[in-house]
A and B are shown apart, each in its own frame.
Chain A
């Protein structure tokens, strides 16, 4: 191997590792992804590039989500393993990390369903956002306080029941009254874009497929 081709080979090898890492997102077996993150770290691949490969993997999964061959169980387990992989990178120098964009998220009062909220929170974390999860059965005051304490640029609110969704209207009113610059995203089975807009939300997210693009779009409107 001559001197000129050596760096190129290293790069090829690193590229192969990153491609395999990206493909391991969503592959069967909980440990495969962690093994490839470990391998990438041993290859001294920049943390930023490892993170990007993981995000690209999640990107592919998100677009497979609303399809018949990839269900919620596969998606949840994939996000779990991506978050485990990201944990392995924590504390390492990451020059190209995402800007700090705190996102506060929660389910409205009276609603016990938090699966959708948890999925969205997991995706945000996988993309490098800092997520403050208020949980479920959250009253309006707690949402306002959550935004205040964390300087949230985004507030995500979920409701899965038609009997609880109208609480969103009050929460949005209360948050916007104090923090008009905070962008509010809503989601849940009984909602659609028109209803979300009538409540004063900045965006309605129908599924995990589009949440990142919509979040980036409303942040860009500033």
Chain B
């Protein structure tokens, strides 16, 4: 676990003042405020107590993040846009009004439970602020208007300009949303921010097919645009950390068989996400990675970002089954996943619980596992199966 602790060692006064301030405001302090030995000690105590009494949500999380066994596995149901239905909001309202989104996500947290909320709106937030025109359907997730891409040709990469966060409407909305959630959730759970990786943002402004070809034919132009985007994203994740989130999730979809080859990803996106991850860690927050592609390059992502958590939907490229996944990566990173979307879509809650039970059996041994869907809970699906997920964590975890 790559928790940044130098602030705690080198500046005890600053450490204490931030710790006191965070705790008094009713928020979970970022793990980076604490020395590693203190986190390990707390996790060991919680793990020992877990066999006697139920742990609080935050205790369960700390125990899991330090790879110790909690009373049961934590759960992150990843109910994001689906939560809008609990407050009767439409997709466009959820995506564009931070107060409505806050109400919806809090309703989801109260209704479902679980230990972690990942408040993201959709994958176009950052691209929209760079100037990509958007479509906000009434019955589906917002997306770029691909008939009008911001980057229309190779020359367009060079025309991309840095934006100021205060002028970035959609990112600013999330920076309004995060403190509301952090304050309301308090010690009952963890709020984890979200940021699409720079290649993903570029994909939203160029279109996947063109971007993929450009990665081979015009890598210099692509990487120049990535540089511009990354500068803004670093500022964005730092602002998320300042808003009180426990960690920030970086989505690096293209580090998988669905994207670039391992070598190309390490060359084109790896260095940029390394800088973003470093900025998050410097703020004392957790680094989480989400990648719902097939054959995710776990080892490359660990090397570049040193994440605390990897959220995934399919086995990594170098593991043939869950047993191998746990053996290879179980002590390097907290595994979060990976109930598949189709199963949630067509199965009964009982079937979902049985699948979760098997997953917990295979992956939860020794801590370091968070039960979650492999990707966002389907936004138009009833919430029965999300409840089944949370209940399975509690019952079988």
User: Are B141's CB and A163's CB within 8 A?
Assistant: yes
| Neighbouring B residues of A20 by C-beta, 8 Å | none
| Neighbouring B residues of A76 by C-beta, 8 Å | 209, 212-213
A-contacting residues of B (Cβ < 8 Å)? 135, 137, 139-141, 143-144, 146, 208-209, 212-213, 215-217, 257-265, 292, 294-295, 297, 317-318, 340-343, 345-346, 375, 378-381
Contact of B380 among A77, A113, A163, A194 (CB under 8 A): A163
Q: Select from chain A the residue with minimum beta-carbon distance to B209.
A: A115
Q: Select from chain A the residue with minimum beta-carbon distance to B140.
A: A163
5 A-B pairs with C-beta separation under 8 A: A66-B257, A68-B257, A73-B215, A162-B345, A162-B379
User: Are A163's CB and B379's CB within 8 A?
Assistant: yes
Q: Smallest CB–CB gap between B268 and chain A, Å?
A: 10
Complex: how many Å from CA A116 to CA B375?
A: 19
Q: Select from chain A the residue with minimum beta-carbon distance to B260.
A: A71
Q: Select from chain A the residue with minimum beta-carbon distance to B295.
A: A66
User: Are B216's CB and A73's CB within 8 A?
Assistant: yes
User: Are A110's CB and B378's CB within 8 A?
Assistant: no
- Overall SS of chain A's interface: loop
User: Are A69's CB and B262's CB within 8 A?
Assistant: yes
The answer to the question of A118 belonging to the interface, with a C-beta cut-off of 8 Å to chain B, is yes
User: Are B260's CB and A110's CB within 8 A?
Assistant: no
Q: Select from chain A the residue with minimum beta-carbon distance to B293.
A: A189
User: How many A-B contacts if CB must be within 8 Å?
Assistant: 92
Q: Select from chain A the residue with minimum beta-carbon distance to B147.
A: A112
The answer to the question of A214 belonging to the interface, with a C-beta cut-off of 8 Å to chain B, is no
Complex: how many Å from CA A184 to CA B345?
A: 21
Q: Smallest CB–CB gap between B333 and chain A, Å?
A: 18
Contact of A110 among B140, B265, B379 (CB under 8 A): B140
Q: Smallest CB–CB gap between B363 and chain A, Å?
A: 20
| Neighbouring B residues of A165 by C-beta, 8 Å | 345
Q: Select from chain A the residue with minimum beta-carbon distance to B340.
A: A192
| Neighbouring B residues of A71 by C-beta, 8 Å | 212, 257, 259-261, 264-265
User: Are A68's CB and B317's CB within 8 A?
Assistant: yes
Other than the given A68-B257, A68-B317, A163-B141, 19 more pairs (CB < 8 A) read A71-B212, A72-B212, A73-B213, A73-B216, A77-B216, A80-B213, A110-B139, A112-B135, A112-B146, A115-B209, A161-B141, A162-B381, A163-B378, A189-B341, A190-B378, A192-B340, A192-B342, A198-B346, A207-B294
User: Are A70's CB and B346's CB within 8 A?
Assistant: no
User: Are B378's CB and A162's CB within 8 A?
Assistant: yes
Complex: how many Å from CA A191 to CA B313?
A: 13
| Neighbouring A residues of B294 by C-beta, 8 Å | 66, 207
User: Are A69's CB and B263's CB within 8 A?
Assistant: yes
Q: Which residues of chain A from 144 to 200 have a CB within 8 Å of any chain B CB?
A: 161-166, 189-192, 194-195, 198
| Neighbouring B residues of A77 by C-beta, 8 Å | 213, 216-217
Q: Smallest CB–CB gap between A146 and chain B, Å?
A: 20
Complex: how many Å from CA A198 to CA B345?
A: 11
Q: Smallest CB–CB gap between A164 and chain B, Å?
A: 6
Complex: how many Å from CA A74 to CA B262?
A: 12
Complex: how many Å from CA A198 to CA B342?
A: 11
Q: Which residues of chain A from 49 to 89 have a CB within 8 Å of any chain B CB?
A: 65-74, 76-77, 80
A112-B146, A161-B140 known; A72 vs B260 contact (CB < 8 Å): yes
Q: Smallest CB–CB gap between A193 and chain B, Å?
A: 9
Complex: how many Å from CA A71 to CA B208?
A: 13
User: Are B261's CB and A195's CB within 8 A?
Assistant: no
User: Are A164's CB and B140's CB within 8 A?
Assistant: yes
Complex: how many Å from CA A156 to CA B378?
A: 23
Complex: how many Å from CA A195 to CA B343?
A: 8
| Neighbouring B residues of A191 by C-beta, 8 Å | 342
Complex: how many Å from CA A12 to CA B217?
A: 35
| Neighbouring B residues of A65 by C-beta, 8 Å | 257
A73-B216, A163-B378 known; A68 vs B262 contact (CB < 8 Å): yes
Complex: how many Å from CA A112 to CA B132?
A: 15
| Neighbouring B residues of A118 by C-beta, 8 Å | 209
Q: Select from chain B the residue with minimum beta-carbon distance to A67.
A: B257
User: Are B216's CB and A74's CB within 8 A?
Assistant: yes
Complex: how many Å from CA A36 to CA B295?
A: 34
User: Are B264's CB and A73's CB within 8 A?
Assistant: yes
User: Are B346's CB and A194's CB within 8 A?
Assistant: yes
Q: Select from chain B the residue with minimum beta-carbon distance to A204.
A: B342
Q: Select from chain B the residue with minimum beta-carbon distance to A73.
A: B212
| Neighbouring A residues of B341 by C-beta, 8 Å | 162, 189-190
User: Are A68's CB and B342's CB within 8 A?
Assistant: no
Complex: how many Å from CA A6 to CA B70?
A: 79
Complex: how many Å from CA A26 to CA B381?
A: 41
Q: Smallest CB–CB gap between B217 and chain A, Å?
A: 8
| Neighbouring A residues of B345 by C-beta, 8 Å | 162, 165, 190, 195
Q: Select from chain B the residue with minimum beta-carbon distance to A76.
A: B212
Q: Which residues of chain A from 5 to 40 have a CB within 8 Å of any chain B CB?
A: none
Complex: how many Å from CA A195 to CA B378?
A: 14
Complex: how many Å from CA A74 to CA B265?
A: 13
Complex: how many Å from CA A80 to CA B212?
A: 13
Q: Smallest CB–CB gap between A198 and chain B, Å?
A: 6
Complex: how many Å from CA A212 to CA B258?
A: 19
Complex: how many Å from CA A66 to CA B296?
A: 11
Q: Select from chain A the residue with minimum beta-carbon distance to B297.
A: A68
Complex: how many Å from CA A68 to CA B121?
A: 30
User: Are A70's CB and B261's CB within 8 A?
Assistant: yes
| Neighbouring A residues of B297 by C-beta, 8 Å | 68
